[in-house]
């Protein structure tokens, strides 16, 4: 059985349910509850990151009324990289692509 196909054990499921109940009862604080990781939950289907064009990235930035420098700051990128993305010279990957997809679906205010 590969790691991707591994399902959580009955014990893990019971512990997760207990932790959830403890959080709702106020016994477990949010920080401790937040430390429960995906390996405890098993692999769930991920939402695939959709490729974004330079035109779409520029439209998101302009809709937010931000300069490239400010947009880059909020995304923890360089202004030069944002410029390259908008021109289509580079395509976002990894965390930048995921964050841009979130902004594309839910709006820039999601990251504030």
Structural domain boundaries of the chain?
A: 3-41, 54-111
End-to-end CA distance of the chain: 41
pLDDT value at residue 39: 59
Q: If you average pLDDT over each of 6-15, 25-34, 64-73, which comes out highest?
A: 64-73
Q: What percent of the chain has pLDDT over 70?
A: 83
pTM over 0.85: no
Question: What is the rounded CA–CA span in Å between residue 36 and residue 39?
Answer: 8
Helix (H, G, I), strand (E, B) or coil at 56: helix
pLDDT value at residue 68: 97
pLDDT value at residue 2: 47
Asked whether the predicted pLDDT for residue 43 surpasses 90, the reply is: no
Asked whether the predicted pLDDT for residue 85 surpasses 50, the reply is: yes
- Of 1.10.3720.10, 1.10.10.10, 2.40.160.10, 1.10.260.40, the CATH number of 54-111 is 1.10.260.40
């Amino acid at each position: 059985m590969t790691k991707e196909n591994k399902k959580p054990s009955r014990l893990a499921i019971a512990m997760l349910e207990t932790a959830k109940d403890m959080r709702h009862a106020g016994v477990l604080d949010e920080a401790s509850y937040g430390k429960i990781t995906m390996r405890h939950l098993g692999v769930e289907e991920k939402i695939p990151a959709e490729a974004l064009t330079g035109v779409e990235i520029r439209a998101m930035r302009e809709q937010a009324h931000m300069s490239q420098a400010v947009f880059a700051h909020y995304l923890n990128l360089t202004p030069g990289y944002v410029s390259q993305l908008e021109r289509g010279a580079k395509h976002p990957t990894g965390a930048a692509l995921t964050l841009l997809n979130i902004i594309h679906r839910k709006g820039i205010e999601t990251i504030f």
